[in-house]
Amino acid sequence: MTSRIRALLRLFTIQASWNYERMQGIGMGYAAAPLLEGLKSTAPGRYADAVARSAEYFNCHPFLAGVAVGALARAEEDGVPGPLIQRLRTALCGPLGALGDQVFWAGLLPALMALTMIAVAGGVGAWAVVSFLIVFNGLRLATAWWGLRTGLETGLQVAGAIQRSWLPRVGPWLGPAAGFLVGFAVPASGGYLLEGAPAGTLASTLGTAIVGMVLFHRLPAMVTALRYGLTLVAAALLWRWLVP
C-alpha cells in the first residue's frame, strides 16, 4: 500500500482523538505519518521535528483535512523552515473550516438527507437510505483524495489552489438547494409519519410546529428543539396516562 493510500485511510479517523487541547492535532499527526516516512532517509535530522509539528494544534472541517495534511507534508519534504510551516498550518484552519462547513454541513449533507427523506416519504423505502450512503460516501471519498493530492502537489501554494478549485464555487449553489429540499422534506416527512391519522391531525401538527418555531425565536436561550420535543411528548404521554 502506498503512503498516499495509507494517509487517505487514516484521514477517515482524523477526529478520533479530538480534544480541547490540540483539537484535531493528534489525528493530523497520525494521518500525516505515512507521508513523512520519506524524511527518515532523506533528512533524518528533520524527521522528529516534522512529526512533532504534524501533531500540534489544528482544527478544520474533517472532510478537507487532507488538503492540509498533504500541503504540510509537501512543505516538510521541500525543507521549508519550521516557523513558516507552522504559519501555513495556522493559516489553513479558518478557510478549510469555513469552506467545509458551507459545502458539507450546510449544503451537501442536508440536501442529500432531505432528498432521502422525501424518497422515504414517497414510498421508496430502505433503498433510499442505501442510495444516500453510496452517493454521500462516494463524494466524500473523492473529496478526500482530491484534497490530499492537491495539498501534496501544491505545498505552500495550496491557498491559491483552493481558491481556483471547485470548492468555493459549489457552496453558493448547494445552500439554496439544501434550503429548498429541507423545506420540502419537513412537511413531506410529517405527512408520512402521520399516515392514517384522522382529518385535522396535520393541521394540529402544523400548529405545534409553528408554536415551537415562535418559541425558538422568542426564547432562544431557554427553548431548544430538544427541550421543546422532550417537554411536549412527555406532557402528551402523561396527559394520556392520567386522563384515559
Which residues ranging from 150 to 189 are in contact with other proteins (CB under 8 A)? 175-189
Considering the complex, state which of residue 142 and residue 235 has its C-beta at the smaller distance from other proteins: 235
As given in the structure block, the three cell numbers for residue 182 are 429541507
Figure out which of the listed residues 1, 20, 83, 218 binds other proteins, where binding follows CB under 8 A. Answer: 20
DSSP the chain: --HHHHHHHHHTTTTTT-BTTTBTHHHHHHHHHHHHTHHHHH-HHHHHHHHHHHTSSB---GGGHHHHHHHHHHHHHTT--HHHHHHHHHHHHHHHHHHHIIIIIIIIHHHHHHHHHHHHHTT-THHHHHHHHHHHHHHHHHHHHHHHHHHHHHGGGHHHHHHHSSHHHHHHHHHHHHHHHHHHHHHHHHHHHTTTPPTTHHHHHHHHHHHHHHHHHH-TTT--HHHHHHHHHHHHHHHHHH--
CB of 109 to other proteins, least distance (A): 7
CB of 70 to other proteins, least distance (A): 18
Figure out which of the listed residues 33, 35, 72, 73 binds other proteins, where binding follows CB under 8 A. Answer: 33
CB of 243 to other proteins, least distance (A): 10
Question: Which residue pairs from 14-21 have beta carbons closer than 8 angstroms and sit at least 24 positions apart in sequence?
Answer: 14/62, 14/65, 15/62, 21/57
Number of residues that bind other proteins (CB under 8 A): 97
**Residue positions counted in the chain:** 244
Considering the complex, state which of residue 104 and residue 154 has its C-beta at the smaller distance from other proteins: 104
CB of 167 to other proteins, least distance (A): 17
* Residue ranges in 79-138 that form contacts with other proteins under rule CB under 8 A: 97, 101, 105-106, 109-110, 113-114, 116-117, 120-121, 125-126, 129, 132-133, 136-137
Considering the complex, state which of residue 4 and residue 101 has its C-beta at the smaller distance from other proteins: 101
228 contacts other proteins (rule: CB under 8 A): yes
Considering the complex, state which of residue 26 and residue 152 has its C-beta at the smaller distance from other proteins: 26
Considering the complex, state which of residue 46 and residue 161 has its C-beta at the smaller distance from other proteins: 46
* Residue ranges in 188-227 that form contacts with other proteins under rule CB under 8 A: 188-194, 196-198, 201-202, 204-213, 216, 225-226
CB of 220 to other proteins, least distance (A): 10
| Part in contact with other proteins (CB under 8 A); list of ranges 47-55, 73-81, 84-92, 159-167 | 47-55
